[in-house]
Structure 1
Amino acid sequence: MESKKCSVFYIRRILYFLKSHVLYVLLTALLFSWILLFNIYLASSNPSSETKGAFPVLDVKEENKGDEIWFKIYMDDKKIGYKREQIIGFESGFLVKEQVFLRLKALNSEQDVVIKSRYVTDKDFIIKAFRVNIISGVVQVVATGTVEGNELIFTLGEGSGKKTKRIALTSPLHSEATGFSHLLGIGAGKNAETELRFFNLLGLTADVIKVRYEGKEHLKINEKSYDSLKFTLEYGNLRSQVWVDQAGRVIKEESMMGLRMERSDMEHAIKDLTVSEDLVFKNAIVPKGKRISQPERITFMKIRGEVKGLPLDNRQKKFGRDILITQETLPVYFRPEDIILSDLKDYLTPGTGIESDHPKIIELAQKIKGKEENLVNVVRRAVNYVHSKLEKRPVLSIASAIETLNLMAGDCKGHAVLLTAILRACGIPSKVVVGITLQDGMFYYHAWTEAYLGGWVSMDATLNQFPCDATHIKLLELSSLLGQEARQLSRIVGDYLGNLSLEILDFTYD
């Protein structure tokens, strides 16, 4: 009986750490999605790489008890960071602590990124409370949650920018999945498959991970041998492979963008780190076909390529494998009373990262709008303000309009969310757009804004374009940066990175 109870406990640990691992992958995917969204405009200012001091050890002496495990983190065989996991038992459950350090490079600028997570669970590893903190330079994103009955009290941010949401739970966070024997491949044979339910902190919904048991595998890492169980995990278009030991702890992980994590000790995990390859240039797309020398003057472009889920509208159309982008013609005049609120309310309300109800953003919006009745002119003023006032600087973090305004600096995602928040505060429906744009002969991942002026019109505060040139190809539309929108954002990693092949067939200058 004791042996059976012990086995169930280990299975629960495996379930917990698989789910926890997927959350780490999703957080990293979202972070990398935003990191990719820089514009080559920033490269023209050539921000210099800062010389960093010694790599920090994250709270190494904070706890001297509990089960602690360290990992090395690699990207394309470069050791760019480390991760620390620790489980501390107490009378009614566990405190699970995870800390990740990454040294990343974007547009020749190096930044340290830290992801700290704390989970309080019961004895079955069902989460009762959590705190996730992403720190990058002076930017910090904090998410917390507490389970009360059948509800999760979820809070994003701190201080005046804090947003709280109550979310109904249909099942416990990290509830036990059924079919333990299938998950472990016991009695089901090789390639047994099952589904694992977990709560997606980014999507704010209950989600399903597809899990396939690949079999047992003997690993040798850092001169140590491990008998492991290998799993393939699939969440949407994100895939990773995980090797766990018999106690349910991760030994090794391989996932998107060449990321790899391996079990280590503290000494070897934190030493000899290096910076990642430049994420922006690494993931740029070199198109085939005709060459465009002045993309800012392009009013029409025809390209060929397989692009999944491409949004289609009056600006962007698709015929077979050919995509046609036509720059919009701006209306001369558009009045507030012409907006149909019932159809556009999602694009007027505050959203995560688009804090249009923040007093500082409302005050700025009123200053920009003044007594102007023509919303076309209001948009033009807002684009000019964001473009001229913000310092062009990479910020390796999740975007926030109020954080960008407080810093008065940002990359394209910061420009996009701040402009969107200002326009909403002015009563103009608007949304963030994620896609690619052409600069110096290559397509780079980028973010800009669209506003409703009788029809959706594009604008790029980073490049000071209204409307955007026709080399801007829209891949995603976001009304908010959390919830279902965050799930879409992971498509940047899952669908597009390394998979887009484009050929420029034709174009027209102004």
Structure 2
Amino acid sequence: MKKTLFFFAVLICCRLLSQEFWYSYSFQDKHVGYTKVVYQWQEQEKSYIKKQEKYRRLDGEEKEEISCVLSLDYSVLSGYISSQTEKGQEIFVITASDKILIQNKNRLISVPGEKIYLEISDFLKGIAARSKLEYGRIYKGLVLSGDRMGACDARARYLGKEVLWANLEKQECHTFDVTTSELKNFWAKAQMDANGNLIGYSLGSFQVLRVPKEYALEVRQNFPEIPAPFIFDIEQIDRMYIRHSDFPFPIPSGPNQRNKEGQTILRSPDEQETQAFSPQTKESIQPGIHLPSDSEFLLEYAKNIQGNSRENRDIAQKIALWVQENLEKKKTPQGNKLAFFLGFSRNLPAIAHVSLSRACKIPSRLVSGVMYTPGKWIYATWAEVFLGKWMPLYSGGIARGAYFIAIVENKAWGIEDKLVPFSFTLHKLVKKGETLLLDNASSYLSIQEDKVTDKLLGITFLRPADWVLLPKNTQSDMLLLRSIKGNGPAILIKVFELPRSLEEILDTLSKKMGTQENLELLWQQSRPFPKGKAIEVALKSQQQLVYRAFLGEQGKKGIAALLIVPAKELLLIEKGFQDCIFSLNFY
């Protein structure tokens, strides 16, 4: 018994003497890196050993390993830094006794000052370690520069204590404004917990936040996109037939997918039969790992989103719309607070969907796998809610359509070994009740007299007289017509998802249509478009080419038609272009 008590006492003591933290870096809402930090107290030397691993992927890949000895106020006594970039490896050595010396293989410099901190976080830890903090006081110090071969002045203004919901828990923290000469006196907002450990800081669109280890390491998961045919209106796809010969892992069969004779058949959730409320389903109401659905903070969010709704379907729809409006399209102040609490995972929308749904007592789960978007398959994690059958929550609503391949259901946190790159072929689908064979163009592209219908792109239009439709490529989101008049005028018709307004798209029209010329806008006019709106514009290039462009939108889908013609031939074919754009419609 005494040995057991001694073992636990040693274990607790070791935890107190050694602390490990993981931080995630995000820039413009993209996960770009992480840092692992370990502080270990050395009782005999009355100092700290700090070991740090940093990984960043912004303008190239960068790795950094640090081993330092820190004093009681967390300033550097000595340190070793190894930095690896695409340019090669650099080694830095720092010593601070009578004077501060920094050395790499090329030079040795002396930094004026009594002490230097490795980073802003250590500078703030040194301030927080003081017995008394004074509100409004500005603290000053030196911090190692970003290139590791110099020092920059640092200042921190203490703003007092506040209660913060961060990293899945409620924390009392010290708040600072902090800046350095390298930041050109732009002030970052930083929070330290009651023990003086960094919670996070933000400056503009750059943010550092303490997160669970699993979230930090997500940046290492770099799954490639899988090219696929361009198909739009995917919510109207009833079934997909995917052919594969040797998957690196078994794809599970379930209500929305089944394996048969060397292929996987995906079904729209609408085709499922209603299922019983099983014990496994009941578990999907409980809080889970990194899913704090019983938190008072999250419960308040769920209550406000639910409002007066009582039906689970209505509540789930409200949750999906709220997540899209506050976490996906942009991060609103309310969305940012929830993200700060949940931890800024790369899968934040799915985590928010499940956490909020469970807080409203709606069974929900996380699913990882592969998801189809026009032109590609992407690796993703999404949420599913149980509404008599499992339905995905995605893109602001209850998703319909057969375009999810579930590989791991009831996802547990950690890097998924099962999610490894693989390839397959989509060879058949059922859309709006009609079977389309992707290796047979006549199955999805029809021309009846002058009426053209593309069932993959979901558009229909009248082909102008004296124009020829060139062969269709399923890997493209465009159709191309050529005139038999003049020197080869062309009309490009392109379909795309619409994340922005038509006016914003006009600013990048040349890029959208696949040309890099600088175009001069001559005029712009509104045009009628079924169940939507449209704009027609005239543009001119420096090469005396005239561009007449039509942009239409309907819901989340956009269409563009671009006429490219030498200026002297415009009158020959302008009427044909007008007939074409006025007949354009979504199928």
User: TM-score normalised by the shorter chain: which range applies?
Assistant: 0.3 to 0.5
Which fold has the larger relative contact order, with Cα–Cα distance below 8 Å and residues 6 or more apart in sequence?
1
- Larger Rg computed on CA atoms: 2
Between structures 1 and 2, the one with greater strand share: 2
Q: TM-score, normalising length from structure 2?
A: 0.38
